[in-house]
Structure 1
Amino acid sequence: MLSRKSGLRNPLRVSLLASSILSGLSMNAIAGEAPKVAVSILPIHSLVQSVMEGVGEPELIMDKSASPHGYSLRPSQVRALNDSDMVVWVGEGLETFLKKPLSQQEGKKTVLELMNIKGITLHENRSSGQWEHDHNHGDDEHDDHDDHGGHDHEEEHEHGGEHDHAAEHDHDETHDHDHEKDHDGHAHDEHAHDEDHAHEHNDEEHHNDEHDGDHVHEEDHDHDHGQFDPHIWLSIDNAKAIVARVGDELAKIDPEHAATYQANVKKVTADLGVLKQDLDGQLSVVQDKPYLVFHDAYQYFEKEFSLSAVGSVTIDAERKPGAKRITELREVIRERKAACIFKEPQFKPVVVDVLAENLDTNIGELDPLGSNLAKGPKAYNSLMTSLGDNLVSCLTKK
């Protein structure tokens, strides 16, 4: 029989032993857990998830069927940001709704702004001159579209004061892709892409490639967010750079799974190479087919596959063009013999239907965000494949 003394001592020893075991288990569990990663939009989420395959799943912040324009975070999404070890976003030129909450996270976690990372090729937002030059319209450039003073915005949209910029941009919306206020409908006043601040480059940070206004990040660098088009994921070469950097960052914050991340990066990079080859072959048959997009979100895709987009329906995807603009656009369609006008699922297609009425042009759909795709590691490839399929289908339709 145990003595009273030993009876008191033994439970204490058992308690201490149990506490020690539980503590050890807890530490091991924590050590084995995947890092908490929050990602802004579906295409980037897919790339990040492909790197985390076999370790964990990142949190998708923005609803996949939504547009970043005027988006407001729900409390659960704010909590996901606050609880994360790493946040991956494109940058304030796209996801303005993340600018303020992420500024409050500085120094607390890894925040990866993809427009600033090494290896990313950036294309400048297009003005009418750049747009026409890129597509070799030569002497038939439409100088009459250079007068932007008469643009009529028929719709006003209230977005909590963050997007009131109609008075700042009186632009012709056919060729003037002065995209400083619009990215997938992402016009944002709070970071009004200050046109007075020119982007500063030096030779070590950027170099021009074959296209004027294109820049390659050789090292991480902050830039004027209004100068560059943020739709960087629509270049497969950029996707490779994103995957590589995400793998490196994950390995830093979770060294236990570093080998898995790096193996995934290698596999995903190879898969992306095959995807690019497939799309290149598929799109070669429509490279000389002119078309209009709903708004200028696709130049990374266009340049990577040498496509012939000739303009966009609107600069601000949330503002329909007025009657004057419709007339000008219909003239562009006739003169350029645009084979197709592409709408987007996030926005009402009424204006596209009006534009195409009684004209020899088809209507298709392009979705730069993959709003109808299931999230997961295959979503990015599905998005890019869908763009290729929809372009070829519309541009070759009789």
Structure 2
Amino acid sequence: MVGSFACGAAFSSFAGEVPKVSVSILPVHSLVESVMEGVGEAELLMDQGSSPHGYSLRPSQVRALNKADLIVWVGEGLETFLEKPLEARKENSKVLELMELKGITLLKNRHSGQWAEEAHDHDEHHDEEHEGHSDHDEHSAHDEKHEDHAQEEDGHEHEDEHVHHEDHEHDHGRFDPHIWLSIENAKVIVSRVGSELVEIDPDNAAVYQSNVEKTLADLDVLKQDLKGQVSGYEKTPYLVFHDAYQYFEKEFSLSAVGSVTIDAERKPGAKRISELRDVIRDRKAECIYQEPQFKPVVVEVLAENLDIKIGELDPLGAKLEAGSQAYKTLMSSLGDNLVSCLTKK
């Protein structure tokens, strides 16, 4: 069992005002909350149960954003609803765009919605990338192996389609924004948020630093627990509702073979449904996973008269209570729900 993220940090008697922090989505908000434990709470901008695709801020959320000292979001590829409000923010606020952070591993978007031929291509490269490093020092290993983004733009091919970001600008449409579903990326986020909070609020530096250390240790345990949880299911094929999970897939060597939709906001047509039914038969997929943010009708149509189960995966934690424990619960639930549906009757 994973211990409580950053619990046990004593409440401090800070001299200055608590930093005002606004965070876009629940999984990232939870990581920020774990760093702020004992000092204050961050504002969650997006309502739970909503999708960042097409979301609109309420006036109260816009006001919170405008007052924030630190704003944390994933980037333009996900929270399009934040682009204009961020342009109008107060001048002295700090914006942390997570897809731009040094140390974040970015994966290229998959456009076809069918990855049967790619399902295991990453295994060999992933093993090579981490060879000789324990889970506790994988982060430092990634830092030492960052690729120059300019080299990527010049045509250098990354066989495993990993890009280790160095705070350079990039084409947001090229990369999958669901970066928080990698625990190694979550560790990078936690460390950087801690550094930013120490800079903004040095009176509470010791609390932030202690919370970062506790959270990083808990994330290492969570990763080991998840590895054990999915052990034995790495080669079991399945389909997801939309392509939100490849960071999770690659970190745990899983075998998703396609997604029901290419664009979560657009229903697949009859031709695509027919193609996906062929994929299910050919690849002997065990499960299709729907998502709570979207109506399940298309998944039910796809599964009709096929020997396949329907499960549910949620990349955002639509039904979770916000707080420092939400990220752990989200990731554990992904493992639980994945295995539950893949388990043969």
Does the alignment reach a TM-score above 0.5?
yes
CA drift at 1:275: 0.2
The answer as to 2:100 corresponding to 1:116 is yes
Residues 119, 241 of structure 1: 8 Å contact kept = yes
CA-atom RMSD in angstroms? 2.3
How far apart, in 2, do the equivalents of 1:336 and 1:364 lie? 18
Q: Deviations over 1:233-288 (max 9, x none)?
A: 00000000000000000000100001110100000000000000000011111101
Greater displacement, 37-46 / 122-131: 122-131
Alignment partner, residue 50 of structure 2: 66
Residues 30, 326 of structure 2: 8 Å contact kept = yes
Q: Deviations over 1:203-236 (max 9, x none)?
A: 599998975321112x322211111000000000
1:255 corresponds, among 189, 202, 206, to: 202
Relative to 1, partners in 2 of residues 1:206 and 1:114: Cα closer, same or farther, differing over 3 Å? farther
The amino acid that maps onto 1:272 is L
The amino acid that maps onto 1:319 is R
Alignment partner, residue 308 of structure 2: 361
Q: Taking every aligned residue pair, what percent have the same amino acid on both sides?
A: 71
Q: Deviations over 1:43-77 (max 9, x none)?
A: 00000000000000000000011001111111000
Higher relative contact order (CA 8 A, sep 6+): 2
Alignment partner, residue 332 of structure 2: 385
SS at match of 2:256: strand
Gaps of 5+ in 2: 1-12, 122-147
Relative to 1, partners in 2 of residues 1:269 and 1:205: Cα closer, same or farther, differing over 3 Å? farther
SS at match of 1:134: coil
Residues 22, 65 of structure 2: 8 Å contact kept = yes
Q: Deviations over 1:151-199 (max 9, x none)?
A: xxxxxxxxxxxxxxxxxxxxxxxxxxxxxxxxxxxxxxxxxxxxxxxxx
How far apart, in 1, do the equivalents of 2:156 and 2:225 lie? 27
CA drift at 1:322: 1.8
Alignment partner, residue 284 of structure 2: 337
How far apart, in 1, do the equivalents of 2:149 and 2:189 lie? 22
Residues 208, 214 of structure 1: 8 Å contact kept = no
CA drift at 1:104: 2.2
How far apart, in 2, do the equivalents of 1:56 and 1:373 lie? 20
CA drift at 1:377: 0.2
SS at match of 2:231: helix
Alignment partner, residue 163 of structure 2: 215
Residues 113, 261 of structure 2: 8 Å contact kept = no
The amino acid that maps onto 1:135 is A
Relative to 1, partners in 2 of residues 1:282 and 1:59: Cα closer, same or farther, differing over 3 Å? same
SS at match of 1:251: helix
The amino acid that maps onto 2:244 is A
SS at match of 2:220: helix
How far apart, in 2, do the equivalents of 1:207 and 1:263 lie? 42
The amino acid that maps onto 1:293 is V
The amino acid that maps onto 1:388 is G
Residues 49, 58 of structure 1: 8 Å contact kept = yes
Alignment partner, residue 215 of structure 2: 268
Q: TM-score, normalized by length of structure 1?
A: 0.73
How far apart, in 2, do the equivalents of 1:266 and 1:210 lie? 32
Equivalent residues in 2 for 1:1-398, closer than 5 Å = 31-105=15-89, 107-128=91-112, 131-136=115-120, 201-203=149-151, 211-217=159-165, 219-398=166-345
SS at match of 2:276: helix
SS at match of 1:72: coil
Residues 208, 216 of structure 1: 8 Å contact kept = no
How far apart, in 1, do the equivalents of 2:79 and 2:237 lie? 30
SS at match of 1:313: strand
How far apart, in 2, do the equivalents of 1:331 and 1:295 lie? 18
CA drift at 1:136: 4.4
Residues 47, 239 of structure 1: 8 Å contact kept = yes
The amino acid that maps onto 1:233 is W
Q: TM-score, normalized by length of structure 2?
A: 0.84
Residues 67, 90 of structure 2: 8 Å contact kept = no
Residues 290, 312 of structure 2: 8 Å contact kept = yes
How far apart, in 1, do the equivalents of 2:170 and 2:179 lie? 14
How far apart, in 2, do the equivalents of 1:91 and 1:314 lie? 22
How far apart, in 1, do the equivalents of 2:178 and 2:203 lie? 33
The amino acid that maps onto 1:290 is P
Relative to 1, partners in 2 of residues 1:129 and 1:316: Cα closer, same or farther, differing over 3 Å? closer
How far apart, in 2, do the equivalents of 1:207 and 1:375 lie? 42
SS at match of 2:109: coil
The amino acid that maps onto 2:78 is L
